Chain A
Amino acid sequence: EAGVTQFPSHSVIEKGQTVTLRCDPISGHDNLYWYRRVMGKEIKFLLHFVKESKQDESGMPNNRFLAERTGGTYSTLKVQPAELEDSGVYFCASSQGHQKNIQYFGAGTRLSVL
């Protein structure tokens, strides 16, 4: 069984550009989460989808970040326009409906904004 897949593994963009990160959860997992780790700091929750609905987006930093999960399968996280402070590692995780708190993580996308 494939794990959580994230693409790309690394993205380098200039300030002001747009970047879209993708996450494919484990098949059958209704819950999908986005997290971010800025260098030297903790892994911070961004948002949570249950199927295609946003359950909790309290961790989204600002309106430059837009997450979608059309059809309740894969999810995208778009940053537009990117700022220097958006640099970090973006993790995606998924979990089954009956075991919400056991989350399986992707390898992460390292975003570098120059």
Chain B
Amino acid sequence: AQRVTQPEKLLSVFKGAPVELKCNYSYSGSPELFWYVQYSRQRLQLLLRHISRESIKGFTADLNKGETSFHLKKPFAQEEDSAMYYCALSGRGGYQKVTFGTGTKLQVIP
């Protein structure tokens, strides 16, 4: 069974402080990992995916297969980063169901 765990429901940091949103997963095989974000009054949108190896809005995430983690990081938090963040995974190839974590609310304090 595939599972995504986000241990923190709420993470509060001060503006300019580093951010790390934790995500661990369980999957037998090679998964594809994603981070989705939902800003206030906006729809859920893809932030980044691990195979792209890109940095979006200053956020990065590295897939650690040994620790089965895909933590989302940003060196300096901005107020506009405040949002709900969801880690998600799917299998690769063809159609694969996407499984989401419960989400972490990031609150950046001015």
Contact = CB atoms under 8 A, between A and B. Distances in A.
Interface of A: 3-4, 31, 33, 35, 40-45, 48, 50, 55-56, 58-59, 91, 93, 100-108
B86 A43 contact: yes
A18 B49 CA distance: 38
Contacts of B4: 42
B43 A101 contact: no
Contacts of B86: 43
A4 B100 CA distance: 19
A31 B96 CA distance: 12
Nearest to A55: B95
30 contacts: A3-B43, A31-B95, A33-B98, A40-B102, A42-B4, A42-B100, A42-B101, A42-B102, A42-B103, A43-B100, A43-B103, A45-B97, A45-B98, A45-B99, A48-B95, A50-B95, A56-B95, A56-B97, A59-B97, A91-B44, A93-B44, A100-B96, A101-B34, A101-B49, A102-B49, A103-B46, A104-B45, A105-B36, A105-B43, A108-B44
Given A42-B100, A45-B97, A100-B95, A105 B90 contact: no
B66 interface: no
B29 interface: no
Given A101-B32, A105-B43, A105-B45, A41 B102 contact: yes
A88 B12 CA distance: 26
